[in-house]
Amino acid sequence: MGLAPLGVLDLSLVTNTLISMLENYVTTASPLWQSLEASGNTFPLSYSGALPDAVRKLAGCQLTFSLFHVTEDKYQRNSPLLNQRAQTIPFQPLGLDLYYLLTAFADQQYQQEQQAMSMAVQFFYQTPIVRLQVALPGIPAAVNEEFTVSMEIETSDEMSRLWQAITVPIRLAVVYKVSVVLMTPPATPALAPKVTAMQMAADPAVFPYALNGQAIGTVRTFTFASLSSTVANPAILSLDYSPAVATPGPGQPFNLYGANLNSPTSNNVYLLMPDGTEFNVTGWMVPEPTAGVQNFQTPSRITLQLPLNVGLPPANVPAPGVYQLSAGSDAPTKYRTNATPFSVAAWVDTSSVPQPNPPILGAVAGTYTVNGEGFVAGATEVLLETVALDSAAVTVVSAEELTFVAPATLPAGTYAVRIRVNNVESPPGWWVVIA
């Protein structure tokens, strides 16, 4: 079982650490012990983590720091750790408060007992925060842990009941709380990979009124290389448009979704223009080979591809704008499904920089040239990220070519080239680097 890199597995590590620090303080830094050494009045002093009854028969002065009670720290039950949200059991570490009994026993040598207790109390008063490094199995580096040590205020009655439980005669004693000590939990499971694609079911329920066919909507998935993409490490991104934003040109299909789209009453596709004019664009359907069978039309999907050139439908694609599609038939009777919108955008040709290379557009004498289809003079806008270029900086040479000049005041950086025709923005295309 893998372990999370925090906490301690063994509570005795905390006890041993505190006893070792106490012993080092007495022998090297305690002013009282140094004065006893100077006067020749030192005495045998032993340190132990055992309970008082276990050392009563031993010689010399016995200073014990005994763990006698453990409780869960109520403030740490749901606290997030390591910049993460609170975990479920057992992956949430158990936060504990440890209660220790500090006492000394030297038989009839009460003075030695009180001197030992004086040095111990002084040490814990001067050491309210303890830091230690913990080695955990399977964790390469030591884990840094930290907890506090504080004296608990106990009444004489409470201490008397505690000594009765130990079954030895009462001695001078102090209770200390060590908190918060975390018990090392198992390592949390690896996070699920990030979502790379999300799709909705394209097989809708068929309502009684739609037995002759119905349209749900249009979807287009566009892929492009990111700026960080390289041949060695491709980074190809996907962008889903719904309603679809379709563009002319090869390899630019989009889908019309619905129900009963291959019945005799809905085996054709119709384009509805803004002025109400209708065109039969069934010829825009494209084949989708599936096991050698052309399957461009299913009960829930029709795959379409726009013609390359802008002009009069159906032989050509209309100018960029917002249109509607419906399925239907003119024979044996005329029927149309409900209409659903889609947009036609200008096609931006980036084939000169094939994927997975990032499409960086270069300038010639400060002028950038974009090739494609569907550019309209007087209705074409160019933006560099959010900076809209002045109309004087953009020239539509033809429906297949436009040029632009970047503003001289534009700060250095990399900018996405955004092209809008008739208020319809094309999918991501070029980037430019301004030095």
Query: Tens digits of per-residue pLDDT, 200-238?
Result: 654 555 555 567 888 999 999 999 998 888 988 999 998
Return d(Cα 303, Cα 290) in angstroms, integer: 13
Would you state the pLDDT for residue 346? 96
Q: How far apart are the first and last CA of the chain?
A: 53
Query: HSE-up of 91 (CA within 13 Å, CB side)?
Result: 13
Using alpha carbons, select from 182, 145, 147, 176 the residue that is nearest to residue 64: 176
Would you state the pLDDT for residue 75? 83
Task: Tell me the residue length of the chain.
Answer: 435
Would you state the pLDDT for residue 33? 96
Would you state the pLDDT for residue 296? 78
Tell whether the model's pLDDT for residue 66 goes beyond 90: yes
Rounded to an integer, the average pLDDT of 106-117 is 95
Would you state the pLDDT for residue 425? 97
The mean pLDDT of the chain is 89
3-state secondary structure of 74: coil
Using alpha carbons, select from 413, 428, 367 the residue that is nearest to residue 394: 367
Would you state the pLDDT for residue 385? 94
5 pLDDT tier (thresholds 50, 70, 90)? confident
pLDDT tens profile 163-210: 888 888 899 999 999 999 998 888 877 777 887 776 665 455 555 556
Tell whether the model's pLDDT for residue 329 goes beyond 80: yes
Would you state the pLDDT for residue 290? 56
Return d(Cα 340, Cα 219) in angstroms, integer: 11
Question: For residues 79 and 156, which has the higher predicted lDDT (pLDDT)?
Answer: 156
Residue with tokens 């453990």: 70
Return d(Cα 144, Cα 61) in angstroms, integer: 34
Lowest mean pLDDT, pick from 28-32, 119-123, 181-185, 315-319: 181-185
Would you state the pLDDT for residue 333? 83
- Of the chain, the percentage scoring pLDDT greater than 90 comes to 67
Q: What is the DSSP string of 41-57?
A: ----EEEE-S-GGGTTT
pLDDT tens profile 248-299: 977 788 999 998 888 888 889 999 999 999 999 999 998 765 555 555 788 8
Are 241 and 289 in contact by the 8 Å Cβ rule? The answer is no
pLDDT tens profile 362-410: 999 999 999 999 999 999 999 999 999 999 999 999 999 999 999 999 9
93 pLDDT tier (thresholds 50, 70, 90)? confident
Token pair in block for residue 313: 């439908």
Tell whether the model's pLDDT for residue 38 goes beyond 90: yes
Return d(Cα 205, Cα 211) in angstroms, integer: 11
Using alpha carbons, select from 379, 376, 377, 370 the residue that is nearest to residue 417: 370
pLDDT tens profile 417-427: 999 999 999 99
Cβ-proximal residues to 347 (8 Å cutoff; 6+ apart), any chain:
247, 248, 249, 252, 372, 373, 374, 426
Return d(Cα 369, Cα 400) in angstroms, integer: 11
**Quick one: how far is CA 375 from the chain centroid?**
40
Give the containing element (helix H, strand E) for 236. Answer: strand 236-241
CA-to-CA dists, residue 14 to 70, 116, 125, 300, angstroms: 13, 21, 17, 66
Return d(Cα 358, Cα 130) in angstroms, integer: 54
Return d(Cα 28, Cα 228) in angstroms, integer: 60
Are 429 and 222 in contact by the 8 Å Cβ rule? The answer is no
357 pLDDT tier (thresholds 50, 70, 90)? very high
Are 301 and 257 in contact by the 8 Å Cβ rule? The answer is yes
> Phi/psi of residue 117, each to 5°?
-65, -35
